[in-house]
Structure 1
């Protein structure tokens, strides 16, 4: 079937914007650990840092929640699901997993999510995926094994493994729910409204889990140390809330709308690469040769997945990324 040049160019621009947003999201998410680690070393419990992150972001996004309050009536299940899975579930399961497994192992298991997304699309939704997207996932997961140096600590704990798989499953929920309503013929819910209510739901759930009333709030008034350099704790918290959460979630969800859940999921694997590089530069945690090679493999996998072509005989294979989905005026980020 002939392809109109204008449509092809329009679709290409859409995928380009989506890829750019996905990269920004990975960069923002990847910077969270570098900012959180000094706070944890200063005396805050990791779960309390997670609560501060989500609750602070929910407060920032509260005006948007009020503006899009109609979503509570139209899509309550989506909002609750996104909050439980995409916000609270990922954070809680991951932090619980690293208490029983080496961080590298837990991170690798969590980032099996792109492969699980492809499985969901292929076997549950029974929609075609391309070989290129599948190859991209394989490369990305293999590269992550090098980035986190999974061979350096293979401590096995059945409950820890289940928790890490739970984090991966919740991340699948994040990508799948972020794409809800973006199909042709269905009005997509405003992504900013979904994020705002998802953060509110996540904050409520994490409040019960983290018990913030037991936190030593005086740590936030002092300074933390980033590779020996004193940094105001409040500045680190502001980075975690505004950049690593608000900007990360907004760009991440919008990128899923312009790409597809599985393609955005593979690009999101770059978060591990970003986190490792930032830890090297800002915390003095040096990269080994296998980690450098692994980062290059992850980049290659992400590129192959996002540039994959439609599967033969498929009208609209999800793994190729659908044509750009136009956001309505209400859904455009100012």
Structure 2
């Protein structure tokens, strides 16, 4: 089978797995569980499932973990504990699709951050994407329609900040720790962070053995926990394997399917749908993110072409940092 097609399928499956966890978590909230308890068991379960693969992949490579411990810790705190906890807290107060759409504004935050720190103006198509995403964000918040929880909005935007930070750290820091091991160690660090917040009383962890209603049928609480754990592991593993086959650019576009997947799963599991205007806003955010990513691709190509044109046979290609240019990349 074609390698690209397999990679595309794996990234698509990863997006579906990521989308599935939110609705199942919300179903557990209705039976007495708190976000802290769900996230704690989710992280702990994933760490246990990945324990053996992590140990196997690190045979003879523990020194690399020691050298890259800062990356491992930041990965666990930000992309594991931070993103998951804040998103699950947002789901407690908002519709699953609305919380995810607010989290999907992470690329928009990255554009603003890079613009402010590098002083390099984004491409015109990126500006178009930013404008469309902002309009979509206003529609999702629906100021004149449905009532939204301010706390839920803050939690969802906090998850977006953590997600943006994760992308930035991943782009800048090189680490030799194998991907599966990095995920497993990150889950362990995230578990310790959430457990610490629970022990300090900062985060409540309410558990319940009552049955959980999924769709129209009651199930043991073990069922949604297992689904959440294995879909999370599947999401990361499929994502890692798929991205190696299709690349980060294609993968980032395919990952946008997480939004419609979350709407479908939330409808089936907790009978929850966003309002019509929020649906339009969601489409706006997704379309805006597509334009933003398109602008990133165009800008990278333009920088590469400029580097080739400015190359010196004696010294090699000049760095873009050495030749600052505040013009757009169009």
| TM-score (normalised: structure 2) | 0.70
2:77 alignment counterpart: 84
The yes-or-no answer on 1:50 pairing with 2:44 is: no
Pairs aligned (count): 293
Output one character per residue of 1:281-314: Cα deviation in whole Å (capped at 9) or x when no partner. 3322245433443444445345445555523741
Larger mean CA deviation between 232-241 and 49-58 belongs to: 232-241
The yes-or-no answer on 1:289 pairing with 2:276 is: yes
Contact 1:178-1:253 at 8 Å conserved across structures: no
2:19 to 30, 33, 48: 30
User: 1:44 and 1:89 mapped to 2: Cα distance?
Assistant: 19
User: 1:161 and 1:306 mapped to 2: Cα distance?
Assistant: 24
Cα deviation for residue 271 of structure 1 reads 3.4
The yes-or-no answer on 1:153 pairing with 2:147 is: yes
- Secondary structure of the equivalent of 1:230? strand
Output one character per residue of 1:52-108: Cα deviation in whole Å (capped at 9) or x when no partner. 111101111112322344242231111000000001112333455677x75687655
User: 2:88 and 2:223 mapped to 1: Cα distance?
Assistant: 23
Alignment of 1:136-215 (within 5 A): 136=129, 138-140=131-133, 142-143=135-136, 145-146=138-139, 149=142, 151=144, 152-153=146-147, 156=150, 163-180=155-172, 189-211=177-199
The yes-or-no answer on 1:62 pairing with 2:51 is: yes
Pair 1:32–1:19, CA change in 2 (3 A): same
Q: CA RMSD in A?
A: 3.9
- Secondary structure of the equivalent of 1:290? helix
Contact 2:27-2:269 at 8 Å conserved across structures: no
Pair 1:278–1:241, CA change in 2 (3 A): same
User: 2:241 and 2:114 mapped to 1: Cα distance?
Assistant: 19
Unaligned runs of 5+ in 1: 1-9, 318-334
2:237 alignment counterpart: 250
Pair 1:61–1:139, CA change in 2 (3 A): farther
Contact 1:102-1:153 at 8 Å conserved across structures: no
User: 1:207 and 1:302 mapped to 2: Cα distance?
Assistant: 34
Contact 1:105-1:150 at 8 Å conserved across structures: no
User: 2:150 and 2:207 mapped to 1: Cα distance?
Assistant: 35
The yes-or-no answer on 1:229 pairing with 2:229 is: no
Unaligned runs of 5+ in 2: 307-330
User: 1:255 and 1:140 mapped to 2: Cα distance?
Assistant: 27
User: 1:23 and 1:144 mapped to 2: Cα distance?
Assistant: 24
Output one character per residue of 1:25-66: Cα deviation in whole Å (capped at 9) or x when no partner. 332121112211222212222210111111101111112322
Alignment of 1:93-108 (within 5 A): 93-95=86-88
Pair 1:41–1:260, CA change in 2 (3 A): same
Cα deviation for residue 208 of structure 1 reads 1.5
- Secondary structure of the equivalent of 1:314? helix
Pair 1:52–1:304, CA change in 2 (3 A): same
